[in-house]
A and B are shown apart, each in its own frame.
Chain A
Amino acid sequence: MIDVKNLSKSFGDHLVLDDISQHIYPGEKVVVIGPSGSGKSTFLRCLNLLETPSAGTISFQGTVITDPKVKIDQVRQQMGMVFQHFNLFPNMTIRKNITLAPVRTGLMKQEEADELAGHLLQRVDLTDKADAYPSQLSGGQKQRVAIVRALAMRPKLMLFDEPTSALDPEMVGEVLDVMKELARDGMTMVVVTHEMGFAREVGSRVLFMADGKVLEEAPPAELFGAPKHARLQDFLSKVL
């Protein structure tokens, strides 16, 4: 589904991603872990070109999206993204947050979008918040809305950038539950996270990144059960 070839990214002199090649298959749940500053988030943000790669190519469903001629908005319509800090639009109600993009991009009419928003909000147990504003919601509720907002575009792939890192501990569970349900429904997901439990339970493949490289990748049982790389052993001993 996504094919990444020799991806590098540097900010000035600082090399953040160092020649990464990866392939993400449909239905796969790829979980990216690693110490902070390892380039996990930058890798994720390159996938929908929120960061422009310095070198290398990324293909999505056979289209080379790093080609400057590609209409990036159309590509992004098929990739949902969930941010660490939710990034809900504070000037709109929850319903409007969800329906704005599907309506403006011509994907559906306002009534259809409103109906879809209703269904989606029901799925995450927030039906009564449709007319509330983001500032009236708790962190966990905001993040669930953010997930739903991305889903309203009917994406083929969901990117999660540390979706639980900015949450109070008691709210992490409700967000992870939504993500697990999404995984069960067969969504292709790339998740950057520090939640090792989630990685173990949901991930079909776990990537361990450090210093801009993928140092080890394996199914979770293998990666957590028998880590080979010294950096990974060290990292796991600190977080588990």
Chain B
Amino acid sequence: MFQSLIDWLDRIGPRLQRAFIEGDRWKLYLQGLGTTMELTVIALIFGVLLGLIVAVIRSAHDQQRIGRRNFVLGVLNVLCQIYTTVIRGTPMLVQLFIWTFVIFPTQRNKVLVAFIGLGVNSGAYVAEIIRGGLMSVDAGQSEAGRSLGLGYFDTMRFIVIPQAFKNILPSLGNEFITLFKDTSLAQAIGGAEMLYYASTIGGRTFDYMPPLLGIAAMYLAIVIVFTWLQGRLERRLRESDRR
């Protein structure tokens, strides 16, 4: 028992050496991390833009005056509802497979496909987050804006959205963390992100433990740092409330 532990510890050095140092493999992890971060940030930006559009359409539709229902807005609202329902009701991996093998079967750049898949997925969740944020702003605020003669979009832009943003921020941070971890699914369609390199190296060295534990530690470290940053930002925003 004791002896086998010593043997295991004895072999750990060379295993780490093979997984991270030999042939400058550590560079591959960093390269993968770069792609992972890129996927996260771009997909989130894409998701936020898409989510904002969907959220504004849906809340604009819900706030129309009776007797002035706009037909185009009605159609857009139904499309948005279908979008959020389908995306939130199917697994992310299935969606990624559909993008890769059904919609873009000839696209070689799998990272690009992953951008689209992750962005479209994230958009549906962000839309609901933003919609919730818009609803959290007191109705009196938009009434005040409208009573002054401001239009719907000016009222949203100058009054409602800036206030909603503060309420949205925590959920948006969580979405960022979720998305960051979900980028690992891109490995399944051949997107060369962190997990992709880790499993390639694992296969080549016939030793999966060091690379997988290694990237797990990297994911964890980044999430911890980000959570800390998020907490600081929220505290700052809360302080400005008490001004």
A-side interface residues toward B, CB under 8 Å? 48-50, 52, 68, 72-81, 83, 85, 87-92, 100-101, 104-105, 133, 135-136, 149-150, 153
Find chain B residues with CB under 8 A from A135 CB.
Answer: 241-243
B-side interface residues toward A, CB under 8 Å? 65-68, 138, 140-141, 143-151, 154, 158-159, 162-163, 241-243
List the 9 closest A-B pairs by CB distance, nearest first.
Answer: A77-B149, A101-B148, A87-B144, A81-B147, A87-B140, A76-B149, A91-B162, A68-B68, A68-B67
Once the chains are docked, how many angstroms separate the CA of A100 from the CA of B144? 12
> Are A105 and B243 in contact, CB atoms less than 8 angstroms apart?
no
Binding site of A, secondary structure by majority: helix, strand, loop or mixed? loop
> Are B146 and A50 in contact, CB atoms less than 8 angstroms apart?
yes
Q: Which residue of B lies closest to A66 (CB)?
A: B67
Binding site of B, secondary structure by majority: helix, strand, loop or mixed? helix
Find chain A residues with CB under 8 A from B67 CB.
Answer: 52, 68
Find chain B residues with CB under 8 A from A52 CB.
Answer: 65-67
> Are B66 and A101 in contact, CB atoms less than 8 angstroms apart?
no
Beyond A68-B67, A89-B158, A101-B149, 16 extra complex contacts between A and B, CB < 8 Å: A49-B65, A52-B66, A68-B68, A72-B65, A73-B149, A74-B149, A75-B149, A76-B148, A83-B147, A85-B140, A87-B138, A87-B140, A87-B143, A89-B144, A104-B158, A150-B147
Once the chains are docked, how many angstroms separate the CA of A49 from the CA of B144? 12
Once the chains are docked, how many angstroms separate the CA of A130 from the CA of B45? 37
Once the chains are docked, how many angstroms separate the CA of A100 from the CA of B148? 9
Once the chains are docked, how many angstroms separate the CA of A90 from the CA of B138? 11
Find chain A residues with CB under 8 A from B140 CB.
Answer: 83, 85, 87
Known contacts A87-B144, A135-B243, A73 near B68 by CB under 8 Å: no
Find chain A residues with CB under 8 A from B138 CB.
Answer: 87
